[in-house]
A and B are shown apart, each in its own frame.
Chain A
């Protein structure tokens, strides 16, 4: 015989569980614990095509999140956890904050964000985001990981500083230590140039010349003559270009006045993921992704994949869907995420940045992986990339 009080509690508990399940429109196996994740993005205007080679990809991120949900649920079927992904795709002129407050804020504790920095900050600071943990799968912004950091935002993609450091480490190894820095005309290009200058200072690289690109972006008409003239400067080993939108960077290679390789946003690039990457089991996920999405995996897809997998890993280990429990575990030293890059991935507790190896790739060849051998760190060599704890101006713990 069960005491009446116990029966009552059990009944009440079941009722609550039932309500919760109704809430997320799933009434299968009642014993399952549900982890609901919102995927939030905003449609972008299709930019003018730069080349016929790479068609504009409208859904960067989404197939990665979907693949990860499948992977999470494969584990979930053995642990009685169910992971649900709900997509929110805000139109070009739509109001992201509005969509968040109405449909996501109080309903989802986990949000994978493909939003730009400003929108992300706005919703992360909104009242309805109090119990929401954001996974930023789109920005590379260093300020967002330092002075403007938020305790409820984790960043999956490497910051600009991490990328520039990765390039600098490899250039140090090659002893190509005199750089000619070429900067595009967008604000983001300035930020990448800042990261390049910071990396140069950190690793002892000399920026012998610096020029802003102020010419047109038409390859056929001008590139040949313009670049040869433009690139006449003091001798240098490599040309580092900051052109995040890819408006002119591709024109530099083979057109400079003296024969020098191009690195930065074009030429040799530093990236979280690349189609040439196949080591450490990466070929497996490249295949699985291609099968599902019918295209190559982009950085944002990889980031969204890792975000959802990180939630899965933490929820499985803690046997919990409580956002506080999950976040604490994610930021603890126990957390180790498999990311197909040869080292376990984890979050930097001081700024919520995912620490990870960075791939250095040319269009058809993976050149190397940073941290480059020989760059040492007392804790983990992964922290030789980007803002280490003593340099960081963010403290997630205090801000919380």
Chain B
């Protein structure tokens, strides 16, 4: 009996320790979905402003930053109370942005103006605007804070921005319509997806040149349906994961051999990806089927899909 109670207490404690919250922006609902992924439940949706897309959580997990595109701002929201506590001067129509590792600076893509805007979060002020290629979209900051990389969709280039000076140091031509960019945890590699060529390119940060170009092929799926978007790599650079858009699948790539190991069927138009804090699970936003998929990374299986609302776009996870 005692043992049973102990076990029960342990279970409860473990569950509490493992509790996590998934936040999903809903582009058409003007709302944020709050999901308990372990219970597999949508807890609630809260209004956040018009056309919310890009989302990030601060390194201390206290603040959510959400680009509300049609309100032309990035809102700061308390991650616990979900109350709005501020707004940042993002420029017009913000969509994607990246936080630096410290969480005090924000790099925003301004697609209509071919600019990257750098914002001081505490002061809520624009520090710098950097001219990049046409229609910048994907953006990321290296974990060592050396580089901010912006991908311009129409110029088909990665722009390597020195985070200290804000100057572009180098440009790398990549496959058509680059979408997402993501560094490995050691900052040694940058992974980028090309929506139109249907490829993943892995670049060496030192040379800023491609070391590997990976094609995806799925039996029964037309090549032009394979449109890679979101990409994430696990901390020990063991596996990488790529969302393949209207191919409705996530590709698992061996990050050592660069082989594509598996394709997992998710919801329709799978777009953005986020790890659970311990990297045991992957969460995907599925824009057309209006749900998120949960992938168990150990068994490499989709374990659940949860309906969240219309046009789920971005995803962030709070431990």
Interface flag for A148 (CB, 8 Å) = no
Contact check: which of A281, A287, A338, A380 meets B224 at CB < 8 Å?
Answer: A380
Contact B224–A382 (Cβ < 8 Å): yes
For chain B, residues 207 to 224, give those with C-beta under 8 angstroms from any C-beta of chain A: 222-224
Complex Cα distance A338/B112, Å? 16
For chain B, residues 166 to 183, give those with C-beta under 8 angstroms from any C-beta of chain A: 171, 173, 175-177
Contact B173–A336 (Cβ < 8 Å): no
Complex Cα distance A287/B171, Å? 26
For chain B, residues 152 to 209, give those with C-beta under 8 angstroms from any C-beta of chain A: 152-157, 171, 173, 175-177, 195-198
For chain A, which range describes its interface: under 10, 10 to 19, 20 to 34, or 35 or more residues? 20 to 34
Contact check: which of B133, B135, B196 meets A344 at CB < 8 Å?
Answer: B196
- Main secondary structure on chain A at its contact with chain B? helix
Interface flag for A313 (CB, 8 Å) = yes
Interface flag for A389 (CB, 8 Å) = no
**Nearest CB in chain A: distance from B51 CB, A:** 10
Complex Cα distance A259/B79, Å? 55
Contact B173–A79 (Cβ < 8 Å): yes
Q: A78-B133, A344-B196 are in contact. Are A316 and B156 (CB under 8 A)?
A: yes
For chain B, which range describes its interface: under 10, 10 to 19, 20 to 34, or 35 or more residues? 20 to 34
Q: A336-B176, A338-B176 are in contact. Are A74 and B153 (CB under 8 A)?
A: no
Contact A342–B176 (Cβ < 8 Å): no
Contact check: which of B112, B157, B198, B225 meets A284 at CB < 8 Å?
Answer: B112
Contact check: which of A309, A316, A380 meets B223 at CB < 8 Å?
Answer: A380
B223 proximity list for chain A (CB < 8 A): 380
Interface flag for A75 (CB, 8 Å) = yes
Interface flag for A194 (CB, 8 Å) = no
A380 proximity list for chain B (CB < 8 A): 222-224
Interface flag for A126 (CB, 8 Å) = no
Contact A336–B157 (Cβ < 8 Å): no
Q: A336-B196, A344-B197, A344-B224 are in contact. Are A74 and B114 (CB under 8 A)?
A: yes
Complex Cα distance A377/B198, Å? 19
Using an 8 Å CB-CB cutoff, how does the interface string of B110-141 with A read, 1 for contact, 0 for none?
A: 01101000000000000000000111000000
Contact B197–A381 (Cβ < 8 Å): no
**Nearest CB in chain B: distance from A65 CB, A:** 15
Q: Nearest CB to that of B197 among chain A residues?
A: A336
Complex Cα distance A359/B218, Å? 27
Using an 8 Å CB-CB cutoff, how does the interface string of A284-295 with B read, 1 for contact, 0 for none?
A: 100110000000
Complex Cα distance A366/B155, Å? 28
Interface flag for B246 (CB, 8 Å) = yes
Contact check: which of A71, A336, A343, A382 meets B154 at CB < 8 Å?
Answer: A71
Contact check: which of B155, B195, B197, B198 meets A71 at CB < 8 Å?
Answer: B155
Complex Cα distance A29/B134, Å? 22
B175 proximity list for chain A (CB < 8 A): 336
Contact B171–A78 (Cβ < 8 Å): yes
Q: Which residues of A contact B (CB under 8 A)?
A: 70-71, 74-75, 78-79, 281, 284, 287-288, 309, 313, 316, 336-338, 342-344, 377, 379-382
What are 29 A-B interface contacts by the 8 Å CB criterion? A70-B134, A71-B134, A71-B154, A71-B155, A74-B134, A74-B154, A75-B133, A75-B134, A75-B156, A75-B157, A75-B173, A78-B133, A78-B155, A78-B157, A78-B171, A79-B173, A281-B135, A281-B153, A284-B111, A284-B135, A287-B112, A309-B154, A336-B175, A336-B196, A337-B176, A338-B154, A344-B196, A380-B223, A382-B224
